[in-house]
Amino acid sequence: MRSIKRLLANVWEFVVGDDPPTALGVVIALALTALIADAAIAAWWVMPPAVIGLLALSVRRATREEHECRRSGSASSEDVGYGA
């Protein structure tokens, strides 16, 4: 049971990373696209502003967190581990 939990935690960490709101935003934008397309309305326009908005919000959040870390003198949460 513990190994399954660890595996799921690793998969979550690998896919979602340290930015769950962005992953959730992608899921919501795709669901909205599907809903609109299902109603036989052009739905391609949903994703471009959603993606740009999610990126801008993600950078803004990370910028604020980084400044908080610097002010409090703690280590950056962004510099841990491997990956991009």
**Cβ closer to another protein: 6 or 64?**
64
Q: Does 76 bind another protein (CB under 8 A)?
A: yes
Among 1, 2, 4, 83, binds another protein (CB under 8 A): 83
Give the footprint of another protein on residues 19-58 (CB under 8 A): 19, 22-23, 26-27, 30-31, 33-34, 36-38, 42-44, 46-48, 51-52, 54-56, 58
Residue 30's SS3 state is helix
Burial call 59-73: b when 16+ CB within 10 Å, e when fewer: eeeeeeeeeeeeeee
Sign of CA dihedral 70, 74, 77, 80: positive
